[in-house]
């Protein structure tokens, strides 16, 4: 049985990151954009953990804990903003929320 090489993990997380970034840029539903950002963060987490194992260093795993905590905070604040927006205008589509232009 051979071990999975680190480069595979890095490739997978790069693909996940690009899918997430694509989601933020292409999708128009705020909830899906929020999920896409989460996906980007978790792709980074995978990178950190793979590199942490590869380098036999704990720093990467500690960084992941920080990222997870911060991601939870961001979701809490993001959903609060979304609820506020939904009260003022019943939509989750960013194209319906465009009063600021110029």
Name the site residues for other proteins (rule: CB under 8 A). 10, 17, 20-21, 24, 30, 33-34, 37, 40-41, 43-44, 47-48, 51, 54-55, 57, 59-60, 62-63, 66-67, 70, 73-74, 77-78, 80-82, 84-85, 88-89, 94, 97-102
- Whole-angstrom CA distances from 1 to 4, 5, 8, 80 are 9, 12, 16, 48
d(CA 30, CA 80): 12
Q: Provide, rounded to whole angstroms, the least separation between the CB of residue 2 and other proteins.
A: 22
Q: Provide, rounded to whole angstroms, the least separation between the CB of residue 60 and other proteins.
A: 6
d(CA 88, CA 35): 22
Q: Provide, rounded to whole angstroms, the least separation between the CB of residue 4 and other proteins.
A: 16
């Amino acid at each position: 049985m051979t071990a999975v090489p680190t480069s595979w993990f890095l490739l997978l997380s790069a693909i996940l990151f690009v899918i997430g970034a694509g989601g933020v840029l292409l999708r128009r539903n705020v909830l899906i954009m929020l999920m896409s950002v989460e996906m980007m963060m978790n792709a980074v987490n995978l990178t950190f953990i793979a590199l942490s194992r590869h380098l036999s260093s704990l720093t990467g795993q500690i960084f992941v804990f920080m990222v997870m905590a911060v991601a939870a905070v961001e979701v809490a604040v993001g959903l609060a903003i979304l609820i506020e927006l939904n009260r003022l205008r019943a939509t989750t589509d960013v194209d319906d929320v465009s009063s600021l232009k110029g």
